[in-house]
Structure 1
């Protein structure tokens, strides 16, 4: 997304785009980005440190970290950003939006948009990203001050060719739909050590149906109405389209990293507990992946 904002629209200056580091000091850093055709771009990027006073000039912040990193990365920055800053969360699962919106109550002129993207990228090295798959980025306003027309136009610059940007209101319905895809593919591929395509086999049908059934029921109690048949069809479509891919949770488990299970099947379990509902299949997946992460 950084590359797209810097290079796809010649009408806009690229020197108003920066990355934010977890380090206190700012620096310049050369980034490499290899596009889908194999062409590699080099960009000298400004990486703002957490102590840089220029954070106060940030009016739009795209938060592209893992779900379990959102609060740690973002909350300490809120007071340092522009009082009118609009924040966009882009991560798997649900849950951080509740923590962030609660924190934003102290900053009434800041706002929150939620989103999800099916674009794919591979981290070749710390400063080299390769684009590996086209996808749709779906976004919608959620809390606080609404996104200005000027900032919305800037985000729309991410729309090009096979990389669409869609706006949805209310956005939570879209995020629950994406949650269903992640709740099926991520834990099952991690637990069965397989590529996404294997989940199309008959042996997984009953389990996939049960995961979706529980999710649809919990979503209804959360005020989100989902079509079970359409949702199931979409899950199997993604399994087919990404058949050769290994899910992010599979990769996290394989590399002994933390997973986002608490924000995927764990979020379903959390909301189920809130509404006093039983979700044994999602609960079992949550416990299995957590156990796998410890091993």
Structure 2
């Protein structure tokens, strides 16, 4: 039985909020708790969620860290009409990739004119409309990121930190993140959960895209855990997915080492052998998938470059067909 501690309320109506998380899934709640639990007490009151409703409310949360210590807190979920949105200086966007544009862009005019936004989702693509929208907000900036940390939702508002990993971030467009906010993020993680800053950031995201482009659709279509993909029968498909991705990335100015990408894909398959991918779980629970932002992004960019990517296109078609059946 883990030890339970009750934190002071993470934000009350009278507190000034500076950091927000949009999206209260497993990763969104993990980021919230790491920002509020792993900070000094004087900083723990400046983190909130942004909700979908117009009205603000408070929500009890439970977080089990890697030592099995349970942290309970009371989070403010700001409504979309709350005047305090203008105080948000840093916003983590942790919704599904296909939700980013609709959830984020209407908020831009309500956030601080100097707000820095971090997209943290699977796949690629949403950064393009967000960057276009940010062109109208000169003081705001955009960073892109990916994390290999793992979190498990035990219930809607209870999350367990289930695996260590690296969070990789990098500036994409607009105003640079301030030194103060960057230092705050660097203090998020301990030694076995570092933050890495990469410039340019897109090569890192293409490498993560390769992992997702292999594991997600193949496990969803074959109804299997990640580890099954290590079998010889999947090697031709995996090789073809990577070949097409590397070719498309090259036309987009991103040079990837095919052998290194392949080695990393198989390493992740091995390290997560017992896991079921997010796309497998989405299909199993009749939820929308992020196929259009994973293999679909490869197909989209290939079309712009007049390239053929039949394997990735086939995976997109099959997953869409499966999710509609």
TM-score, normalized by the shorter chain, greater than 0.5: yes
Q: Secondary structure at the match of 1:290?
A: helix
Among candidates 313, 319, 322, match of residue 283 of structure 1: 313
Whole-angstrom CA distance in 1 between matches of 2:77 and 2:273? 36
Among candidates 117, 138, 144, match of residue 174 of structure 2: 144
Q: Secondary structure at the match of 1:41?
A: strand
Among candidates 159, 164, 176, match of residue 129 of structure 1: 159
User: How many pairs are equivalent?
Assistant: 295
Partner of 2:75: 45
Please give the per-residue CA displacement for 1:56-97, whole angstroms capped at 9, x wherever unaligned: 000000001110010111011000000000000000000000
Q: Report the Cα offset of residue 154 of structure 1.
A: 1.1
Partner of 2:240: 210
Partner of 1:88: 118
Partner of 2:285: 255
Q: 2:89 touches 2:115 (CA, 8 Å); kept in 1? A: yes
Partner of 1:54: 84
Among candidates 59, 65, 70, match of residue 95 of structure 2: 65
Q: Report the Cα offset of residue 131 of structure 1.
A: 1.1
Q: 2:251 touches 2:305 (CA, 8 Å); kept in 1? A: yes
Q: Report the Cα offset of residue 12 of structure 1.
A: 4.7
Whole-angstrom CA distance in 1 between matches of 2:37 and 2:231? 42
Partner of 2:134: 104
Q: 2:226 touches 2:269 (CA, 8 Å); kept in 1? A: yes
Whole-angstrom CA distance in 1 between matches of 2:98 and 2:252? 22
Tell me how large the CA RMSD over aligned residues is: 0.8
Partner of 2:59: 29
Whole-angstrom CA distance in 2 between matches of 1:246 and 1:288? 18
Q: Report the Cα offset of residue 108 of structure 1.
A: 0.7
* 1:154-169 correspondence runs (5 A): 154-169=184-199
Partner of 2:37: 7
Partner of 1:246: 276
Partner of 2:299: 269
Q: 1:12 to 1:157 in 2, by over 3 A?
A: farther
What TM-score comes out, normalization by structure 1 length?
A: 0.99
Partner of 1:227: 257
Q: 2:39 touches 2:188 (CA, 8 Å); kept in 1? A: no
Partner of 1:176: 206
Whole-angstrom CA distance in 1 between matches of 2:32 and 2:256? 33
Among candidates 18, 21, 28, match of residue 48 of structure 2: 18
Q: Report the Cα offset of residue 11 of structure 1.
A: 6.3
Unaligned runs of 5+ in 2: 1-30
Please give the per-residue CA displacement for 1:2-58, whole angstroms capped at 9, x wherever unaligned: 111111122651111111101110011111001122221101111101000000000
Whole-angstrom CA distance in 2 between matches of 1:12 and 1:70? 31
Partner of 2:18: none
Please give the per-residue CA displacement for 1:137-180, whole angstroms capped at 9, x wherever unaligned: 00000000011111111111222132111000000000000000
Whole-angstrom CA distance in 2 between matches of 1:75 and 1:100? 7
Q: Report the Cα offset of residue 214 of structure 1.
A: 0.2
Q: 2:52 touches 2:79 (CA, 8 Å); kept in 1? A: yes
What TM-score comes out, normalization by structure 2 length?
A: 0.90
Unaligned runs of 5+ in 1: none
